Amino acid sequence: MDFQDYYKTMGLDRDATQDDIKRAYRKLARKYHPDVNKRADAETRFKELGEAYAVLKDPEKRAAYDQLGENWQSGQEFRPPPDWGSGFEFSGSGFEDAGGENHSDFFDALFGRGAGAGFGSRSQRGFHAQGEDHRAKVLIDLPDAYSGATRSITLRTPELDATGHVVTKERTLNVDIPKGVREGQRIRLAGQGSAGLGDGRPGDLYLEIAFRPHRLYKADGKDVHLELPVTPWEAALGATVKVPTPAGAVDLKIPPGARNLQRLRLKGRGIPSKPPGDFYVTLNLTLPPADTEAAQALYKKMQQDIPYNPRANLEV
């Protein structure tokens, strides 16, 4: 079936106020009432008008209709989203002056079969819809994943004002970041999404965790990596050095004969979890500068005392 533009049926723009909708209905209802207008299509137009008014006069139903309406163009084949029926319940509230129980297949598809059973009555039974879920990204520091933290976030969310227009409002939430959280992990805050319509429950808010870049550490899942500068003598002779971690400094034993870019593991020192991640240290062999006469003399002595050719296997 084709999408029906209720705003076009009533000659209204989408930003029309509720008063605009009432005025337009009264004017057009008088014009197309079958007792007044003898044109052949008057009764059809009158029923179309009543159906449009039944939706647009009610801010809740109007908001639900707008969720689809803004994504459709008049004349397109209407297909409700797969989960539309599961998220919405409707028991109709009637056309005030339209009378009758006839309504379009589009209306049935939008609100469910039997939705128009109350047409012609003045009862105001409910239209219920679950609120939309929202998603946001939260930036935290890697050390927060070790100890947990509380962060304040500001969200801009759509709400329905007294006239039925959708407006954007800001709200602030204090969020507890749990110990052991990993980058890319989502935290669900139940009921913190969009408000539901009628008796529908509010949606949920999903927060995706991201780490700010850190000058020392890089996270990979629950493992953490650090590049550690070491001297030639520490690598050659072995040493025990202090290594920073997000949970505090620890002692690392460098084995004798360690190589440049060799990776050492501190088991269980990564992001806390069950089991915890590991902390990996990549050795970065650095050379002291020969920027003094004493340093140059030491390098010359090494050249004489330690016969070493790193290109020996190149056969040149």
d(CA 221, CA 184): 9
124 and 12 in a common domain: yes
236 within a domain of the structure (yes/no)? yes
316 within a domain of the structure (yes/no)? no
122 and 14 in a common domain: yes
pLDDT band at 105 (very low <50, low <70, confident <90, very high): low
Pairing of strands 134-140, 223-230: unpaired
Percent of the chain with pLDDT over 70: 75
Tell me, rounded to whole angstroms, the distance of Cα 206 from its chain centroid.
6
pLDDT value for 169: 78
Tell me, rounded to whole angstroms, the distance of Cα 226 from its chain centroid.
30
315 within a domain of the structure (yes/no)? no
CB 234 within 8 A of CB 241: yes
Is residue 175's pLDDT more than 80?
A: yes
Enter the pTM of the model: 0.59
d(CA 278, CA 287): 29
Pairing of strands 134-140, 205-211: parallel
145 and 63 in a common domain: no
Q: Which tokens is 282 given?
A: 């990549």
pLDDT value for 158: 64
Percent of the chain with pLDDT over 90: 41
pLDDT band at 245 (very low <50, low <70, confident <90, very high): very high
Nearest in space to 241 (alpha carbons), one of 205, 211, 281? 281
For the ranges 61-70, 215-224, 239-248, the lowest mean pLDDT is seen at 61-70
314 within a domain of the structure (yes/no)? no
For the chain, the straight-line distance linking the first and the last C-alpha, in angstroms and rounded, comes to: 81
Is residue 294's pLDDT more than 90?
A: yes
pLDDT band at 98 (very low <50, low <70, confident <90, very high): very low
Reported as half-sphere exposure (CB side, CA atoms, 13 A), residue 294 has a value of 1
262 within a domain of the structure (yes/no)? yes
CATH number at residue 71: 1.10.287.110
Q: What is the Cα Rg of the chain in Å? A: 35
pLDDT band at 60 (very low <50, low <70, confident <90, very high): low
For residues 159-178, give the mean pLDDT. 78
Using the 3D structure, point to which of 181, 211, 241 is the last residue of a domain: 211
Is residue 124's pLDDT more than 60?
A: no
33 and 143 in a common domain: no
Q: Which domain holds residue 124?
A: 6-129
CATH number at residue 180: 2.60.260.20
pLDDT band at 125 (very low <50, low <70, confident <90, very high): very low
230 and 193 in a common domain: no
313 within a domain of the structure (yes/no)? no
Task: Select the more confidently predicted residue: 61 or 97.
Answer: 61
88 within a domain of the structure (yes/no)? yes
Amino acid at 196: G
Q: pLDDT, tens digit, for every residue of 23-52? A: 999 999 888 888 888 888 888 888 889 888
97 and 56 in a common domain: yes
**Mean model confidence pLDDT for the chain:** 80
Using the 3D structure, point to which of 184, 211, 238 is the last residue of a domain: 211
SS3 for 243? strand
Q: pLDDT, tens digit, for every residue of 224-234? A: 999 999 999 99
pLDDT band at 109 (very low <50, low <70, confident <90, very high): low
Task: Select the more confidently predicted residue: 225 or 65.
Answer: 225
Work out how many domains the chain is built from and give that number.
3
Using the 3D structure, point to which of 189, 211, 233 is the last residue of a domain: 211
24 and 89 in a common domain: yes
Q: Which tokens is 52 given?
A: 């449009």
274 and 251 in a common domain: yes
171 and 244 in a common domain: no
pLDDT value for 213: 95
d(CA 259, CA 99): 88
Is residue 95's pLDDT more than 60?
A: no
41 and 116 in a common domain: yes
165 and 109 in a common domain: no
pLDDT value for 78: 54
CB 157 within 8 A of CB 169: yes
pLDDT value for 16: 87
pLDDT band at 214 (very low <50, low <70, confident <90, very high): very high
72 and 166 in a common domain: no
For residues 153-176, give the mean pLDDT. 76
